[in-house]
Amino acid sequence: MSTLNNILILFVAIFFYLLIARFLRKLLHAPAPPIIGRGLDSNFRRWMQPAEKVVARSGIRNGMTVLDLGCGSGAYTTFFARAAGERGKVYAIDLQPKMLAQLARKLLKPENADIHNIEFKEADAYHLPFENDFFDAVCMVTVLPEIPDKHKALSEVLRVLKPGGFLAVTEFFPDPDYPWRSTTIKLGTREGFILDASEGNFWNYTVRFKKPS
């Protein structure tokens, strides 16, 4: 079988996967289950959605206090932590304790022994356990479309962000909840954020917003 035929079969398989997955998500709207945590936190996933691009587009710099909202099993949490550096801190928030348990086990691995600036808490996006104007940046990687009441969640994000702080929303096409970039931009600007940057392509993009000063 030719290479062209193999590529065509792959694209057809992806198309039907997305079609079925999106249909099921319409019927069963819920966060990604912990059983797929390892898949979400895999090198294959990060090959499709490179961590260095997510970090750079999110605007994270040394010394920042960062919220990884909907961190799941921590696919990007360690990368955010290293970017924030020893003077910075990352708070990893998820509403599913089994996801946080996977992140805790990940941080015990030898390759993450250098990371000491992550704190995780069980909470939902509607009730963030932080003071007003607390964070320099909030990152949501393939999370926002899973939240039923996006208005309430984004209002909370706006509350905990410092004036001039960033909200980075990252999405990629294979996710069953993938929204158009224009949809993400409308969600953010409608809630009072200022569009700061929009980077990436159709397959993998990050929209970065800023809280008005």
Q: Are 177 and 143 in contact (CB under 8 A)?
A: no
Q: What is the pLDDT of residue 155?
A: 97
Identify the architecture of domain 31-210 in CATH: 3-Layer(aba) Sandwich (3.40)
165: Cβ–Cβ under 8 A, 6 or more apart, which residues? Answer: 133, 135, 136, 137, 138, 210, 211
- pLDDT-based confidence at 5, cuts 50/70/90? low
Range scoring the smallest mean pLDDT among 43-47, 94-98, 100-104: 43-47
pTM of the model: 0.85
**42-46, 72-76, 157-161: lowest mean pLDDT where?**
42-46
Whether residue 183 is predicted with pLDDT greater than 70 in this model: the reply is: yes
